[in-house]
Structure 1
């Protein structure tokens, strides 16, 4: 029991330290801390690890997979109905129905087929999660995301063809490159298209993202520790 209590306290401490660091970075760059939303990345983490963060008042959580989120979050939300769930991983078009039912925000809209399915399911269900387009700022072939030169046209298609309300952009910079140029590029594209949400920055680089205008940062390991892929 003592080891379990210690692990739970580690989560609370990690959450508190991350919140403080975000607030400090926001103030350092002339921004209001309340304008930066912390998404605690709970992917691969079991419910007993997530619970201390919920009990400490954390609201926003990020998951990568529909099936994993379905296994954890319906029960958690019965206890914590204020929690908001973010889809931050690649989303298959055939999972659009489940994603619309489960998530409050989808950060990984990146292709026409997915836009079509999301539009159809939103119209059918009447439930409309916030939608964010993922941009592949590094043009990495192994990553999802719209290429930067194609973003404007894709946004127009989402809005005009599919009737979707797009609220922002998301990116994951290449691991072997400085992140700031990618964050600056995302901010430039968002400003050009009148999009208020910038989902960018993770445990290792969220301070740079905040400097360049991030409204949502996705932090996992700094709160929950190293990922345990054996739980997926």
Structure 2
């Protein structure tokens, strides 16, 4: 089970005002709701962002700017032709794959390997994903996927994803995801101490860099 897979009862909520761009609903677990324009708010968050991240050990860290590595992990990607829909823009479902790729990259950077989790008999599964579409991407566009872990509870990890077009930093997407730690019977369990420690060490390193 990957970070993108949904356990039974999981749902994906897609918020979008871009109905003409061809939203495709792959299953009954995906729901489409009218979205709002968050372009200005997201641009302001990109320029000046101050958020407190809480770890399991009650350490607090201030992330003042999402353009650096202060808790954010940046990946530069480009749009490929097979990601287009019939309207000439990136298909809405592709953005979920971008976010999945970013989550896995971030977890690797923290020192948490998804394959190792699976081998131990546990799983880290996506329980919900909320996507706000702000502007479309087209063939040939380059963009930055900027993401972080925004919070962590006993059994869940909360992710924040931002996409900006290169080079003008135009906001494209704002998404939030929750991943839950599951045992071999796919029941939520506490995140092991060793993985919590890696997360706290990562935050300490980024806070001091």
Higher strand share: 2
Higher RCO (CA 8 Å, separation ≥ 6 residues): 2
